[in-house]
Amino acid sequence: MNLGNALAGLGSVQAAQECYHHAIELQPDLLPAHLNLGALLLALGDLPAAESTYRKALEIAPESASAWTGLGCALDTRSDEAEVAFRKSLAFAPGHNGTVARLAQWLREHGRARAALEELRLAVGANPDDALLLRTLGEIHAGIGEYADACASYRRILQTSLHDWDAWSNLLWTLNFMPEANAVQILAEHRKYATLVERGLETASVVNRPERKRLKIGYMSADFRSHSVSCFIEPLLRHHDRGRFEVHCFYNYASSDAVTQRLYELAEHWHVIAGMTDADVAKRIRDNGIDILVDLAGHTAHNRLGTFARKPAPLQFTWLGYLCTTGLRAVDYRLCDAHTDPPGQAELWQVETPLRLPDSQWCYRPQVGLPPPSPLPRLANGYWTFGSFNQESKLNETALRSWAKVLLAVPGSRLRVIGVTCDLVEERIRCVLNEQGIDSERIDIVGRLPIEKYLAEFGEVDIALDTFPYNGATTTCDAMLMGVPVATVAGDRAIARSGVSLLMTVGLANWIAPTPEALVNTVCTQLRDTQRLVDLRQNLPKRMRASALMDGAAFAKNVEKAFENAWHRT
């Protein structure tokens, strides 16, 4: 069993599993072996095997709080059983912070954010400095659009644990959602983080770079799986010129899926780095002689910015998953475009040098086949229907008030908000819109949907409304491929201008409002010509597919040229 623990710590999960199984064969009632095996299976995403393992553990020790917690995690999709398991664990180990955090996460995922927050507030009251509880509290607040409360939780962690890098990343990520924050303030916070993480850190000093026929490119992400990032990285991996570039992918996630397998087949070299230390990952990058290392995560979940801070590659980029600065001086460039990062302005938003691609920083490949567009719903309904398809964490009160003004300006219009799973978010949407004079009868709120039903929802919507300041990307691409134009607001920083980039690339500049106040006029202007919208409904998918947003070969050439130019300048 101890050998299994050591192997698991080293990332040798298959060998660790074999050791745990052998230990259990030698001593079937060895509870720690069952618990450790269950935890390993959970990390790998093998929920059925984890469930079976924890049930065996409970046969040995029916009052094991750890086994009940593990079972709850393995039963995550079963509403009643999972909650029962977590609460049984707390009955045997009252106030166990890890279990409280798990229960709260489960409650939030099942739409019960109010109950989740109540559980956490009670636990934090008894353990005011517990980082796990505070982090979970912050994540739930951020996930339902309560940004100030989320930031307060993260800052509370940093008061006692200034070098908690997860808390820093969570804080920095959340700042991007806040309408009241500006690019200069956000940059200042990123610089504070970078000063701490880079202090006393030894970085590699690259003096001589070997001349070779092919540049070695390394892409690092935890999102090489069923995730929006994979929709944008796949075209590049698929079209890289293998005569000039040797492609390495560094995957920082414990489990995989069908998308992972597809991306794995597109990479020449695949490195699983989940569980490894930043120093060990940096060593592997150096050992592989990576010339250009590309971060695809920024300050999103499971990032490895601690590796980038060590400068393991001569040239380092950030791109795609986080349209903001990393704050790190060790990251040389941000791949972007002139729409997200206007020349003369964006240089003030970031530590990195913005390296603008000629068309767009986006190239999209949907993970599933999309059906043809449906007729404009207005023709059958007799009224206009607006829709929101972005994550509920982006639905702040500023955007909702702006949308309410659009609804007031278009008599009889309706709003469909797709993907709302949280009780408190639904209440906020209705409350804010009601306060602005929009009756609840004009608001349809739809929960999380499987991909087929999600795509069908575009057939119910005439116009999509983009969230701001945190714009959509995947949902905007999906909308246009389904014939639904998107109205966006041009913001003051890159993450608030991704909609501008996407719409400009397909020739929809007249759907971009320069300010939130101008959104009403922008939308109403488009609604004056119904026939033009009927035609756009049918033509927009063709325009999207013919644009730079879906030309993987051209996009790969642009990125490769950017890499080579930067390499020769360095």
| pLDDT tens readout for residues 57-115 | 999 999 999 999 999 999 977 778 999 999 999 999 999 999 999 999 999 999 999 99
**Which pLDDT band holds residue 180 (cuts at 50, 70, 90)?**
very high
Residue 195 parent element (H or E): helix 183-198
Across the chain, what does the average pLDDT equal? 96
Which pLDDT does position 12 carry in this prediction? Answer: 85
Q: Based on the domain organization, do 412 and 502 belong to the same domain?
A: yes
Which pLDDT does position 207 carry in this prediction? Answer: 45
**Which pLDDT band holds residue 11 (cuts at 50, 70, 90)?**
confident
- Angle between the 97-109 and 113-126 helix axes, to the nearest 10 degrees? 160
Q: Which residue has the higher pLDDT, 496 or 367?
A: 496
Q: Based on the domain organization, do 564 and 541 belong to the same domain?
A: no
Main-chain dihedrals φ then ψ at residue 250, nearest 5 degrees: -110, 110
Mean pLDDT calculated for residue range 412-437: 97
Residue 416, in any domain of the structure = yes
Residue 517, in any domain of the structure = yes
Residue 219, in any domain of the structure = yes
Last residue of a domain, one of 57, 76, 94: 94
Q: Based on the domain organization, do 239 and 331 belong to the same domain?
A: yes
**Nearest Cα to Cα of residue 369 among 462, 448, 452, 450:** 452
Residue 309, in any domain of the structure = yes
Q: Based on the domain organization, do 564 and 540 belong to the same domain?
A: no
Q: Based on the domain organization, do 415 and 318 belong to the same domain?
A: no
**Nearest Cα to Cα of residue 292 among 362, 222, 219:** 219
CB atoms closer than 10 angstroms to residue 199: 9
Residue 492, in any domain of the structure = yes
Question: Residues in the chain, how many?
Answer: 570
Which pLDDT does position 456 carry in this prediction? Answer: 97
CATH number of the domain that 450 lies in? 3.40.50.2000
CATH number of the domain that 223 lies in? 3.40.50.11380
Last residue of a domain, one of 48, 76, 94: 94
Q: Based on the domain organization, do 290 and 325 belong to the same domain?
A: yes
Which pLDDT does position 212 carry in this prediction? Answer: 73
Provide, rounded to the nearest whole percent, the portion of the chain with pLDDT above 90: 93
Q: Based on the domain organization, do 347 and 446 belong to the same domain?
A: no
In the sheet that holds 414-418, the strands lie side by side as: 443-446, 414-418, 385-388, 463-465, 486-489, 512-513
Q: Domains in the chain: how many in total?
A: 3
Q: Based on the domain organization, do 544 and 563 belong to the same domain?
A: no
Which pLDDT does position 202 carry in this prediction? Answer: 66
Q: Based on the domain organization, do 449 and 544 belong to the same domain?
A: yes
**Which pLDDT band holds residue 137 (cuts at 50, 70, 90)?**
very high
Mean pLDDT calculated for residue range 408-426: 97
CATH number of the domain that 10 lies in? 1.25.40.10
Residue 207, in any domain of the structure = no
**Which pLDDT band holds residue 10 (cuts at 50, 70, 90)?**
confident
Instruction: Write out pLDDT tens, residues 544-569.
Output: 999 999 999 999 999 999 999 999 99
Which pLDDT does position 204 carry in this prediction? Answer: 55
- The answer to whether the CB of 157 falls within 8 A of the CB of 318 is no
**Confidence check: pLDDT of 205 > 70:** no
Write 113-120 long-range contacts (CB < 8 A, 24+): 113/140, 113/143, 113/144, 113/422, 113/423, 113/424, 113/425, 114/423, 114/424, 116/140, 117/141
- The answer to whether the CB of 463 falls within 8 A of the CB of 384 is yes
Q: Report the amino acid identity of residue 454.
A: Y
Residue 229, in any domain of the structure = yes
**Confidence check: pLDDT of 210 > 70:** no
Which pLDDT does position 213 carry in this prediction? Answer: 82
Q: pTM (2 decimals)?
A: 0.94
Q: Based on the domain organization, do 301 and 346 belong to the same domain?
A: yes
**Nearest Cα to Cα of residue 3 among 496, 395, 99, 26:** 26
Q: Based on the domain organization, do 485 and 406 belong to the same domain?
A: yes
Last residue of a domain, one of 39, 72, 94: 94
Q: Based on the domain organization, do 342 and 384 belong to the same domain?
A: no
Please give the residue range of the domain that contains residue 29.
1-94
HSE of 227, CA atoms in CB hemisphere, 13 A: 20
Residue 481, in any domain of the structure = yes
Provide, rounded to the nearest whole percent, the portion of the chain with pLDDT above 70: 98
**Nearest Cα to Cα of residue 290 among 213, 212, 215:** 215
**Which pLDDT band holds residue 141 (cuts at 50, 70, 90)?**
very high
Q: Whose structure tokens read 């990390």?
A: 43
